[in-house]
Structure 1
């Protein structure tokens, strides 16, 4: 039997160089099963994965994955909030659930000036939130930065556009926006610094999308 002799460092300590071989980048972001991945457009090179902690939980995490040519590279994991009642495969207006699915990200906007995004950005005083959330937290400032999730909307229009191609009963106005510290009505909330970072990172030429849902749904 042939024995492999470990290499030695300059201090005489043996080490095995085979352990330093880098792992290949994954062929798809972790946590996405074959059915979910089949819905991702082949040309997309930026995938924001929003994973709910549980089907009925308003707590989730968000990670932006970018294709490097060899595989998918993960960005920072960010805490997020989704809808009060969790997730649904059949979103309806007023159900207080976030829609599970794969959606393009084409348009942005907000009350504050464009922080440097390559997405079309609509700055407007109409991006105003008022009142309090489900846990009594103030909603003010939640729409200072938003990215429209292309669920039941017309891509290429302001996030404020009210057109609902699937009909008003299927809901709409599902955005990524600044987290107000509690559950949403259907949107996904991220901390302000995470929203600015995401706005600057997304590139229309890389056809960004969001894949969102509870962990069990995304693993299918």
Structure 2
């Protein structure tokens, strides 16, 4: 069985060397662990190096992030319908169909979250809606989740001017990146 627990570590380059910014934080990943070949609905967290999207979201008000922030309202969806032209994007309006997520209804996970730019631009069926969000204590559907306090600390620290990246992989495979 794949591990669904991990550690999130944040680093910044200082004097030419990577230095830890926070103590290591317990994290949860997909219920089927990591995958190099993520597919829609497989409940795995994709391995790789990804950017953070330009807008952060949440049911709650802006916790003080440096990114654009959208407070979720009814009919805010993450389009996870592989057959639609807006696959793997934020959508406001009618349900885009398929397994799309009603973002405003998913609590506490979507109190605040950052979009991990996996499968963007989107290839249908490759997976969608990969976020850094609040943990509910369980494995995720493919996202990375943290305790509320840890999440808010990371979201506030992230700075779009530094073009941050997230590396997602088992520890024994980090050397690939």
**Aligning the two structures, in what range does the TM-score lie when normalised by the shorter sequence?**
0.7 to 0.9
1:78 and 2:54 equivalent? no
Give the secondary structure class of the aligned counterpart of 1:121: strand
2:15 counterpart residue number: 69
Q: 1:213: Cα distance to partner?
A: 1.2
1:54-84 CA distance string (max 9 Å, x none): x821000001101113311102110000000
1:128 counterpart residue number: 104
Residue 110 (structure 1) aligned to one of 58, 68, 87:
58
Question: Which protein shows a greater Rg?
Answer: 1
Q: 1:129: Cα distance to partner?
A: 4.3
- What CA distance in whole angstroms lies between the structure 2 residues aligned with 1:87 and 1:115? 29
- What CA distance in whole angstroms lies between the structure 2 residues aligned with 1:59 and 1:96? 14
Trace 1:138-149 onto structure 2 (pairs within 5 A). 140-149=107-116
- What CA distance in whole angstroms lies between the structure 2 residues aligned with 1:69 and 1:122? 35
Residue segments in structure 1 that go unaligned for 5+ positions in a row: 1-54, 131-139, 155-164
Moved over 4 A (4+): none
Residue segments in structure 2 that go unaligned for 5+ positions in a row: 77-102
- What CA distance in whole angstroms lies between the structure 1 residues aligned with 2:134 and 2:23? 17
1:168-214 CA distance string (max 9 Å, x none): x1111000000000101100110101111111101111111100011
TM-score, normalising length: structure 2 = 0.78
C-alpha RMSD of the superposition = 1.5
1:91 and 2:38 equivalent? yes
Q: Is the 8 A contact 1:146 1:178 kept in 2?
A: yes
1:4-30 CA distance string (max 9 Å, x none): xxxxxxxxxxxxxxxxxxxxxxxxxxx
TM-score, normalising length: structure 1 = 0.63
- What CA distance in whole angstroms lies between the structure 2 residues aligned with 1:88 and 1:180? 22
1:100 and 2:47 equivalent? yes
